[in-house]
Structure 1
């Protein structure tokens, strides 16, 4: 049985990977994150505190557990924060990857790295894996730099690019566009939503499955790992309102230019998923199925 080490295990994707491993018992899991373990179940895997910005700490933990694969989910993903705090963004999104590359080369570990649709400018999405990168934000630049570091390395690497990951964790400590829209509309608040950006939102469970498929299949190279339904951000929010029978009159469509966001966003991204479906057996839920699963999880939290 392969041993996998996950960075950022307290995050949404990290917790979903833990959940999947415990359900399938397919791998031995070393979950790592900064600070205490926030996953509610503490048995059935090992948790180790690890700061990905501390190279000697990473060397110590990876050297101790000698995993067959590392799934690197930790990153600074807030696009505007990356633009405002470039030095920290570079440390987290590039330097940390270089540290993991070094350890992976040393111990012959497969390194699976999470990347993003923001490596593209959004001029002609949806994109396949061969499309040339052209980021329009500093966040996108750091993710391209990390991909390039992997391509130049001597380790066995796979990059999984994803788009708007949504889902819930049991303590509800992680928000996303769906939970934000649902909460605001339930409170009767009006919300501004962009109508000139298109995405393919990704259910966190699907992305966790794709990470584990990449380990199981010993994947190498770049793979697209998003949801399969393309929609504008405003369309996404309307779907959320429809699903939970909320007031769509509270949704105000605006153009991205009116929001004055720190970082520029690509207009239309989206992915062609054929390679990942064919090579890895990836089978993402539809957006409606994703909302249904989310609803079931929210209802089960209420009954606990």
Structure 2
């Protein structure tokens, strides 16, 4: 069997770097990594890197024409919910228009498109959610992701949508922060932190999400799949588990309500996913949150 060639967008991001790492370690697919600007991944061997600005349709076409991938894993997006709310035009260009560019090319060249989406497509009134539950986003970020999903559903492309929740992990250059690293860093410095106790999530280890992306390619998955960790917890519980794992002072953690934060964008209260379909169809097997923290800890010790 010929090795599948996979082009990854946003390869400098957390998920993008984990995909590079996993593909280099396991060699299950051939990688074309693409991102805006220079390659941030420390190893340059064993794969190809191309600079590609997802907002430049002509450049996207040139890169895809040159490398002729069998599949594209599209990780590039605005994921900061408040930034998306504050700059809706940029959010639309990155999270919707760029997806349309990829869809058109994938339709034309018969390329599979694996697209990353989010639990924020839901309003959080009655999570955990199944793949076919009705969407109702509360923020423009969530709305932009729903629009992208609709473009895919209405296209002739061979598409799979992987929805995920609160991705955490570590990159070699520590350039990508997330809730686990933020909480650990603040508590180690002895900085008092406020954490919401009325939002529930299923945090996702970046390695697990990368594995799900590769499984979706290998199995030529079609449709929507939920991809998250298996443990359901409040944000406050999550931060306390981080404190527990690294034996940090919990007395400086203050639990607050979402209302008191005055964030630009509204967040759903209870998301979380039912993972049965992804486990059954893709063979997805996520780590527990505790196991995920252990993996992050081991990587930190190795790298620093």
Query: Does TM-score exceed 0.5, indicating one fold?
Result: yes
For 1:265 and 1:247, locate their aligned partners in 2 and report how far apart those are by CA, in whole Å. Answer: 28
Q: Secondary structure at the match of 2:254?
A: strand
For 2:303 and 2:115, locate their aligned partners in 1 and report how far apart those are by CA, in whole Å. Answer: 31
2:105 matched to 1:110?
A: no
Query: What displacement does 1:29 show?
Result: 0.5
Select the residue among 59, 66, 69 that pairs with 1:67: 69
Q: Name 1:194's counterpart in structure 2.
A: 196
Question: Cα RMSD between the aligned structures?
Answer: 0.4
Q: Name 1:126's counterpart in structure 2.
A: 128
TM-score (norm 1): 0.99
Unpaired stretches in structure 2, ≥5 consecutive residues? none
Q: Name 2:281's counterpart in structure 1.
A: 279
For 1:207 and 1:42, locate their aligned partners in 2 and report how far apart those are by CA, in whole Å. Answer: 22
TM-score (norm 2): 0.99
For 2:222 and 2:238, locate their aligned partners in 1 and report how far apart those are by CA, in whole Å. Answer: 32
For 1:301 and 1:104, locate their aligned partners in 2 and report how far apart those are by CA, in whole Å. Answer: 38
Kindly report structure 1 stretches of 4+ aligned residues shifted beyond 4 Å: none
For 2:215 and 2:258, locate their aligned partners in 1 and report how far apart those are by CA, in whole Å. Answer: 36
Q: Secondary structure at the match of 2:151?
A: helix
Q: Name 1:240's counterpart in structure 2.
A: 242
Unpaired stretches in structure 1, ≥5 consecutive residues? none
For 2:104 and 2:68, locate their aligned partners in 1 and report how far apart those are by CA, in whole Å. Answer: 13
Q: Name 1:217's counterpart in structure 2.
A: 219
For 2:67 and 2:299, locate their aligned partners in 1 and report how far apart those are by CA, in whole Å. Answer: 33
Select the residue among 24, 35, 40 that pairs with 1:22: 24
Q: Deviations over 1:64-107 (max 9, x none)?
A: 11100000000000000000000000000000000000000010
Q: Name 1:136's counterpart in structure 2.
A: 138
For 1:223 and 1:213, locate their aligned partners in 2 and report how far apart those are by CA, in whole Å. Answer: 11
For 1:30 and 1:291, locate their aligned partners in 2 and report how far apart those are by CA, in whole Å. Answer: 29
